[in-house]
């Protein structure tokens, strides 16, 4: 899940970032009555969402819906700092259809309502993936014929997109279908259905909600190399077949131990295909405990990733994968690493937060994104 080229210098070599704690930027921890959707968001002019709106860029976060329901501080920051939200887990297949044929949209519906109440757009995540599948499906799939499995997948895509029709800005239709060497991942989808499942999923999603922007989403495709080249070739191929694909999501899970050589140029080459691009799951982890040097690298990582997006007109959203260290997925997966987000576990903004704020403030002359709230054209 990470680049295998060591070199802190790649990140540190970036221009120094002034980390000026100029103004009180954390959202006030105003208690809001749970479980109200009214998060009392006062959109300060120096919030991330306000600063980004000047160039038509959406700033997002993955949302832990348990925290959203129970923690007023979490709710307040989610509402005040971000203009798009992504459900971290509650739109995944195992959550929405725990028993075959019985849907549970409740948690996802609550998030979508929260987003609407706070004038936020929603990135739907994710329809077709090899992970977080319901147990009934992984148990039954090996015995199914290709036609049976295709019908199950079609039903899932159609029912989920139909349920949220008109309320999703960007759908991650297919997630993480490639290996790092550029070959297709050996998932149940590839094994039984062959590579055509990818085009099918986009077509089914488009039929169910013709206005949603449909994305392919993956990690380790931020820089040129076998994996991003394979995704690039796939996208061109889908376009040549007339498949309705609108964008590519670059997850951007970074680690200060590895460099990020050519993100902007890579985003630009996908944009040049006529696609939207987005950074969809940004975080920058580091070995713990964090030293000042490592934190400088993390700050540079956030600045670099945001500036790359800002420089590319077709980069329409920049989403962090959770905003606080207390809720980050990183420590549970990468032993000894963490501190990957922009707020600490006590919901205080870190230098990483101020770096994003400053990049937005200094980048007000970046190209203005157009049609940002609109669906596909």
Rounded CA gap, 189 and 141, in Å?
9
- Residues 104-133 touching ligand 9MR, rule: CB under 6 A, are 131-132
The answer to whether the CB of 126 falls within 8 A of the CB of 217 is yes
Contacts of 83 (CB under 8 A, 6+ apart): 49, 52, 53, 58, 59, 60, 119, 120, 121
Residue closer to ligand 9MR by CB (options 99, 132) is 132
Specify the residue, 281 or 325, whose C-beta has the smaller distance to ligand 9MR. Answer: 281
Enumerate residues 310-329 that contact ligand 9MR by CB under 6 A: 329
Binding string, residues 152-191; x marks residues near ligand 9MR by CB under 6 A: -----------------------x----------------
Please pick, among 176, 222, 279, 294, the residue that the annotation labels catalytic: 176
Active site residue 94: no
For residues 308 and 340, which CB has a smaller minimum distance to ligand 9MR in the complex?
340
Exposed / middle / buried, residue 118 (Cβ in 10 Å: 0-12, 13-18, 19+):
buried
Question: Which one of 30, 53, 89, 239 is in contact with ligand 9MR (CB under 6 A)?
Answer: 89
Give the number of C-alpha atoms closer than 13 A to the C-alpha of residue 280, restricted to the C-beta side: 30
Q: How far is the CB of 330 from ligand 9MR (least distance, A)?
A: 8
Please state the closest distance from residue 253 (CB atom) to ligand 9MR, in A: 7
How many angstroms separate the CA atoms of 302 and 133, rounded? 31
Active-site pick, 160, 222, 279, 281:
281
Rg of the chain over all Cα atoms, to the nearest angstrom = 20
Which of 57, 67, 68, 88 lies at the binding interface for ligand 9MR (CB under 6 A)? 88
Phi first, then psi: give them for residue 284, nearest 5 degrees: -135, 100
CA proximity to 254, closest of 303, 198, 202, 204: 303
- Tell me how far CA of residue 25 lies from CA of 46, 49, 343, in angstroms: 7, 12, 11
CB within 8 A of 3, min separation 6: which ones? 220, 223, 255, 258, 259, 260
Give least dist CB 17 to ligand 9MR, A: 26
CB of 88 to ligand 9MR, least distance (A): 5
Q: Is 222 a catalytic residue?
A: no
Please give the size of the binding site for ligand 9MR, defined by CB under 6 A. 8
**Cα 72 to the chain's mean position, in Å?**
23
Give yes or no for residue 42 binding ligand 9MR (CB under 6 A): no
Q: Which is nearer to ligand 9MR, 57 or 133 (CB)?
A: 133
Question: Residue written as tokens 């951007």?
Answer: 252
Within 214-273, which residues bind ligand 9MR (CB under 6 A)? 251
Listed in sequence order, the residues at least 6 apart from 219 whose beta carbon sits closer than 8 Å to its beta carbon are: 1, 176, 251, 252, 253, 281
Choice between 89 and 224, CB closer to ligand 9MR: 89
Residues in region 329-358 near ligand 9MR by CB under 6 A:
329
Q: How many C-beta neighbours within 10 Å does residue 13 have?
A: 11
Q: Which residue, 2 or 144, has its beta carbon nearer to ligand 9MR? A: 2
Q: Site residues (CB under 6 A) for ligand 9MR?
A: 88-89, 131-132, 175, 251, 281, 329
Residues marked as catalytic:
176, 281
């Amino acid at each position: 899940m990470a680049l295998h080229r060591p070199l802190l210098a790649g990140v540190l070599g970036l221009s120094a970032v002034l980390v000026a704690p100029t103004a009180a930027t954390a959202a006030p921890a105003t208690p809001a009555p749970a479980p109200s959707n009214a998060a009392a968001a006062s959109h300060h002019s120096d919030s991330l969402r306000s600063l980004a709106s000047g160039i038509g860029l959406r700033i997002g976060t993955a949302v832990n819906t348990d925290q959203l329901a129970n923690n007023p501080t979490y709710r307040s920051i989610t509402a005040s700092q971000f203009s798009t939200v992504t459900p971290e887990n509650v739109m995944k297949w195992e959550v929405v259809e725990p028993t075959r044929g019985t849907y549970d949209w409740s948690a996802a519906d609550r998030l979508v309502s929260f987003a609407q109440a706070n004038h936020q757009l929603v990135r739907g995540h994710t329809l077709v993936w090899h992970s977080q599948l319901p147990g009934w499906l992984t148990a039954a799939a090996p015995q199914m014929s290709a036609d049976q499995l295709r019908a199950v997948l079609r039903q899932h895509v159609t029912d989920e997109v139909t349920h949220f029709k008109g309320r999703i800005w960007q759908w991650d239709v297919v997630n993480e279908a490639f290996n790092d060497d550029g070959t297709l991942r050996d998932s149940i989808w590839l094994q039984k259905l062959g590579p055509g499942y990818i085009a099918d999923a986009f077509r089914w999603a488009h039929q169910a909600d013709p206005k949603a922007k449909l994305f392919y989403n993956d990690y380790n495709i931020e820089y040129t190399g076998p994996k991003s080249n394979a995704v690039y070739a796939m996208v061109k191929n889908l376009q040549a077949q007339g498949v309705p694909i609108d964008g590519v999501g670059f997850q951007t899970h970074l680690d200060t131990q590895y460099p990020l050589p050519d993100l902007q140029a890579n985003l630009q080459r996908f944009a040049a295909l006529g696609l939207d691009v987005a950074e969809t799951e940004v975080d920058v982890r580091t070995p713990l405990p964090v030293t000042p040097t490592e934190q400088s690298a993390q700050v540079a990582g956030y600045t670099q990733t945001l500036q790359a997006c800002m420089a590319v007109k077709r980069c329409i959203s920049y989403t962090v994968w959770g905003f606080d260290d207390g809720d980050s997925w990183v420590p549970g997966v990468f032993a000894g690493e963490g501190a990957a987000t922009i707020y600490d576990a006590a919901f205080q903004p870190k230098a990483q937060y101020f770096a994003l704020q400053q990049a937005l403030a200094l980048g007000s002359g970046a190209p203005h994104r157009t049609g940002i709230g609109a669906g596909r054209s």
